[in-house]
């Protein structure tokens, strides 16, 4: 049965429709794979196998009647940031350790509407704050990929590390994820998978545990560009319950994959090089440029002069919004409650006990930059710099249709490696964070392996609401790179 | 701008996070590392620039002022740390 887990989402959907196998069969195959792999990878924090089998049987009944949605019968994983009705949702935090939502997030509801099957909830950094999955209250996720040089456990990246690891190890056909500074694209790059953060407002944020509301955006992690397009189409759409949800036409994303990219103009920003970036990443980027040129694209050198300020800007804006969003965890209506001699002490003890160190650090930074006397110097200044960064992009959009960059400044690193210094960890998002600050779509496509046999990704950034072009270009990049490598199965 | 122990103590209180006295010095170091890095933002000329508060410009949608949800105390209370008789139970706040 294990061959069923190797299928792409597209191939599985075709097989289900053709009745080559049932949803129950492919769901069971994934359950077996998870049971074998999860003790090593720690990708799932809550398997929902009984629920999955019930959903699968219902899908099979619909398929037997010749009915069914666009994802009918396909077993998927859900990042533990998405509220799932009746199924524990913790956002990787102790403070939500036994929170059972009484409602379903819009994004996951869209997947179930289209017939998908939920295998379980996927591990993540606490409140999506992290780049290595080490801040999870459930322990780190392990990357299925290992370096040729050592058997050390590597990070799958973060915060959607469980999603990336599960997709890379064939523990689901695709997964939901979320991206506030790079949390879809960085883990996708580290695991040889495809991850897209769509335009801000494409996916409803309703029912997704909030981190930084002006930056948070949901998207899929998938095995191929086409799979990512299929998933994003289902996840997206206008939702009146999110006031920032965009009431715009929803393009048929999968139809853009495979379209000719001839004549499209690709910007290459000279600022997307950082100190200490391995030469292999530079080489891969050059290779990517050549692939796009060979596909008929025109390459245009561009400048985005405020790039270096994007991360420090983000580390004011995101913690500020987080400190405000996380004020709701007060031990009164849901979540953990610790004892205290006074109400204030109860709040303070609850939050001290419930939040991990990285979350506390960001809440403190956010509280500081919003506090009287520092608000203008830090917060307002960061918002002004944010506009400068957005203006950089607006200036180049007349000249190019998309921008090609590396996804990350390194391949996956060992668990424990960067835990010491927060700023070193933050630098992981140096190439991805601009898309969050400006709301533009960005996709990471696996493009090659480094000398140690670890996957590296290239990123394409597009104009707001122009995911279609991004999918066409990503498809061309995927074809040219011909990335077929899979992690060697050491875990089962 | 750098923070000291007194500032961290004050900010932790504003954030309602109990930080033990023996942790404060370590937090001072961490926060100052991050703040020193953030100082780069002072290099940017932001004269006359409007603060950017949202990634995608859109007008705030309005809806009819109608009740669309509610009347469901069991579900609202389902995750309460303490509840009784259809209410949240919280510590006494008025002496």
Mutate which: B52, B62, B83, B87, vs A, most A CBs within 10 A:
B52
Six-digit token string for A4? 């069923």
Taking the C-alpha atoms of residue A373 and residue A361, their distance in angstroms, rounded to an integer, is 20
What whole-number percentage of chain A has pLDDT above 90?
95
Query: Is the minimum CB–CB distance between B62 and chain A shorter than 8 Å?
Result: no
**Distance, C-alpha A315 to centroid of its chain:** 19
Q: Where are the domains of chain B?
A: 5-43
Q: Is residue A480 part of a domain?
A: no
Give me the pLDDT at residue A419, please: 67
Query: Is the minimum CB–CB distance between A289 and chain B shorter than 8 Å?
Result: no
Residue A420 pLDDT class (50, 70, 90 cuts): low
Whole-number Cα distances in Å, A262 to A123, A254, A284, A299, A477: 40, 18, 21, 11, 13
Residue B60 pLDDT class (50, 70, 90 cuts): confident
Residues of A labelled as active-site residues: 79, 159, 183
Q: Write the pLDDT tens digit of every residue in A19-38.
A: 999 999 999 999 999 999 99
Q: What is the CATH number of the domain that holds A158?
A: 3.90.1300.10
Q: Is the pLDDT of residue B57 over 80?
A: no
Q: Is the pLDDT of residue A175 over 60?
A: yes
Query: Is the minimum CB–CB distance between A336 and chain B shorter than 8 Å?
Result: yes
Measured from the Cβ of residue A278, the count of other Cβ atoms closer than 10 Å reads: 15
Taking the C-alpha atoms of residue A173 and residue A153, their distance in angstroms, rounded to an integer, is 24
Q: Is residue A362 part of a domain?
A: no
Nearest chain B residue to A366, by CA: B15
From B23's Cα to the closest Cα of chain A, the distance in A is 11
Give me the pLDDT at residue A167, please: 98
From B10's Cα to the closest Cα of chain A, the distance in A is 9
From B56's Cα to the closest Cα of chain A, the distance in A is 6
Q: Write the pLDDT tens digit of every residue in A426-436.
A: 888 999 999 99
Q: Is residue A184 part of a domain?
A: yes
Q: Write the pLDDT tens digit of every residue in A251-303.
A: 999 999 999 999 999 999 999 988 888 899 999 999 999 999 999 999 999 99
Q: Is the pLDDT of residue A187 over 50?
A: yes
Query: Minimal CA–CA distance to A294: which of A483, A477, A484, A482?
Result: A477
Give me the pLDDT at residue A1, please: 43
CB pairs under 8 A between A and B: 163
Q: Is the pLDDT of residue B95 over 80?
A: no
Query: Is the minimum CB–CB distance between B93 and chain A shorter than 8 Å?
Result: yes
- Hey, is A461 helix, strand or coil? strand
Give me the pLDDT at residue A354, please: 98
Task: Give the pairing of strands A217-222 and A265-269.
Answer: unpaired
Residue A157 pLDDT class (50, 70, 90 cuts): very high
CB contact under 8 A, B79 and A99: yes
Full domain range(s) for residue A134: 2-263
What whole-number percentage of chain B has pLDDT above 90?
78
CA angle in degrees (0–180, nearest 5) for A164-A431-A192: 30
Taking the C-alpha atoms of residue A230 and residue B53, their distance in angstroms, rounded to an integer, is 31
Give me the pLDDT at residue A479, please: 97
Q: Write the pLDDT tens digit of every residue in A46-90.
A: 999 999 999 999 999 999 999 999 999 999 999 999 999 999 999
- List of residues 6+ apart from A100 with CB closer than 8 A: A86, A87, A88, A89, B78, B79
- List of residues 6+ apart from A74 with CB closer than 8 A: A9, A12, A13, A16, A23, A26, A115, A116, A117, A173, A174
Give me the pLDDT at residue A284, please: 97
Helix, strand, coil percentages for chain A (3-state, nearest 5): 40, 15, 45
From B19's Cα to the closest Cα of chain A, the distance in A is 7
Q: Is the pLDDT of residue A441 over 80?
A: yes
Q: Write the pLDDT tens digit of every residue in A314-373.
A: 999 999 999 999 999 999 999 999 999 999 999 999 999 999 999 999 999 999 999 999
Report the length, in residues, of chain A: 492
Q: Residue A377 carries which DSSP code?
A: I
Q: Is residue A391 part of a domain?
A: no
Q: Is residue A177 part of a domain?
A: yes
Whole-number Cα distances in Å, A254 to A45, A243, A374, A467, A481: 31, 27, 47, 10, 19
Cβ within 8 Å of B, A 219-248 = 240, 243-244, 246-247
Give me the pLDDT at residue B25, please: 97
First-to-last C-alpha distance (Å) of chain B:
41
Give me the pLDDT at residue A472, please: 98
Give me the pLDDT at residue B1, please: 74
What whole-number percentage of chain A has pLDDT above 70?
99
Q: Mean pLDDT across chain A, nearest whole number?
A: 96
First-to-last C-alpha distance (Å) of chain A:
14
Q: What is the DSSP string of A117-162?
A: EEEEEE--SGGG--SSSTT-TT-----S---TT--PPBP--SSSHH
Q: Is residue A7 part of a domain?
A: yes
Query: Is the minimum CB–CB distance between B23 and chain A shorter than 8 Å?
Result: no
Query: Is the minimum CB–CB distance between B61 and chain A shorter than 8 Å?
Result: yes
What's the number of domains chain A is made of?
1
Map A301-321 to HEC letters: EECCCCHHHHHHHHHHHHHHH
- List of residues 6+ apart from A175 with CB closer than 8 A: A76, A77, A78, A79, A122, A160, A162, A163, A164, A166, A167, A220, A221, A222
Residues of chain B found within 8 Å of residue A420, distances taken between Cβ atoms: none
Six-digit token string for B57? 């410009």
CB contact under 8 A, A368 and B13: no
Q: Do you find a cis peptide bond into A159, omega within 30 degrees of 0?
A: yes
Query: Is the minimum CB–CB distance between A382 and chain B shorter than 8 Å?
Result: yes
Task: Give the sign of the dihedral formed by CA A289, CA A294, CA A297, CA A300.
Answer: positive
């Amino acid at each position: 049965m294990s061959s069923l887990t190797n299928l792409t989402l597209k191939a599985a959907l075709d097989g289900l429709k053709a009745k080559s196998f049932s949803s129950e069969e492919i769901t069971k195959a994934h359950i077996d794979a998870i049971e074998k792999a999860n003790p090593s990878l720690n990708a799932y924090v809550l398997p929902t196998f009984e629920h999955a089998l019930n959903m699968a049987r219902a899908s099979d009944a619909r398929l037997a009647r010749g009915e069914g949605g666009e994802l009918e019968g396909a077993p998927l994983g859900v990042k533990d940031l998405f509220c799932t009705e009746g199924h524990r949702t913790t956002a990787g935090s102790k403070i939500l350790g036994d929170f059972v939502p009484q409602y379903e997030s819009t994004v996951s509801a869209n997947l179930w509407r289209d017939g998908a099957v939920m295998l379980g909830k996927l591990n993540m950094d606490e409140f999506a704050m992290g780049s290595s999955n080490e801040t999870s209250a459930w322990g780190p996720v392990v990357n299925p990929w290992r370096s040729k040089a050592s058997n050390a456990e590597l990070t799958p990246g973060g915060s959607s590390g469980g999603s990336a690891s599960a997709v890379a190890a064939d523990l689901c056909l695709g997964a939901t994820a979320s991206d506030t500074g790079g949390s879809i694209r960085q883990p996708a790059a580290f695991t040889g998978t495809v991850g897209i953060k769509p335009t801000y407002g494409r996916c409803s944020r309703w029912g997704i545990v909030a981190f930084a509301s002006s930056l948070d955006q949901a998207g899929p992690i998938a095995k191929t560009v086409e799979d990512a397009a299929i998933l994003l189409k289902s996840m997206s759409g206008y939702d009146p319950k999110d006031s920032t949800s965009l009431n715009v036409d929803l393009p048929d994303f999968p139809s853009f994959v495979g379209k000719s990219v001839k004549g499209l103009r690709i910007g290459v920003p000279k600022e997307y090089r950082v100190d200490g970036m391995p030469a292999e990443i530079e080489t891969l980027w050059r290779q990517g440029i050549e692939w796009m040129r060979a596909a008929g694209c025109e390459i245009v050198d561009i400048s985005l002069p405020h790039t270096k300020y994007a991360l420090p800007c983000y580390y004011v804006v995101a913690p500020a919004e987080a400190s405000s969003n996380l004020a709701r965890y007060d031990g009164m209506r849901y979540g953990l409650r610790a004892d205290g001699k006074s109400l204030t002490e109860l709040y303070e003890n609850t939050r001290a006990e419930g939040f991990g160190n990285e979350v506390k650090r960001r809440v403190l930074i956010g509280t500081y930059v919003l506090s009287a006397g520092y608000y203008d110097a830090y917060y307002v200044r960061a918002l002004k710099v944010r506009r400068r960064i957005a203006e950089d992009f607006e200036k180049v959009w007349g000249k190019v249709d998309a921008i090609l960059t590396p996804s990350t400044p390194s391949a996956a690193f060992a668990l424990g490696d960067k835990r010491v210094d927060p700023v070193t960890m933050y630098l992981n998002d140096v190439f991805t964070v601009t898309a969050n600050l400006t709301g533009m779509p960005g996709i990471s496509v696996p493009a090659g392996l480094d000398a140690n046999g670890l996957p590296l990704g290239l990123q394409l950034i597009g104009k707001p609401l122009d995911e279609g072009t991004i999918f066409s270009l990503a498809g061309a990049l995927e074809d040219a790179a011909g990335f077929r490598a899979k992690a060697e199965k050491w875990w089962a | 701008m750098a923070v000291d122990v007194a500032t961290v103590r004050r900010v932790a209180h504003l954030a309602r996070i109990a930080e033990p006295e023996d942790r404060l010095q370590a937090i001072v170091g961490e926060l100052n590392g991050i703040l020193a890095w953030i100082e780069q933002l002072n290099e940017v000329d932001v004269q006359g620039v409007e603060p950017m508060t949202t990634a995608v410009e859109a007008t705030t949608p309005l809806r009819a002022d109608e009740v669309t949800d509610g009347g469901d105390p069991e579900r609202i209370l389902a995750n309460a740390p303490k509840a009784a008789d259809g209410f949240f139970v919280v510590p006494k706040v008025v002496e």
